Amino acid sequence: MNNKLLVLPEMSYTLHDSLLTIQIGGTEIYCKL
């Protein structure tokens, strides 16, 4: 099962060691999974 995330042109995300980092414009959001 794949988790899909809709990515906008100015948006990027990385997942590393259960830490999800989402960058939207100049804003960074960190989510601990």
Domain membership of residue 25 as a residue range: 8-33
Q: Are 5 and 12 in contact (CB under 8 A)?
A: no
Pairwise CA distance, residues 17 & 33, whole Å: 9
The per-residue pLDDT for 26 is: 81
Residue 28 maps to a domain: yes
The per-residue pLDDT for 30 is: 92
Residue 19 maps to a domain: yes
Pairwise CA distance, residues 5 & 32, whole Å: 16
- Give the pLDDT of the chain (33 residues) as one tens digit per residue: 466 666 566 778 888 889 999 888 788 999 898
Residue 2 maps to a domain: no
The stretches of 1-33 forming alpha helices (DSSP H) are none
Q: Angle CA(19)–CA(23)–CA(26) in degrees, nearest 5?
A: 140
Number of folded domains that form the chain? 1
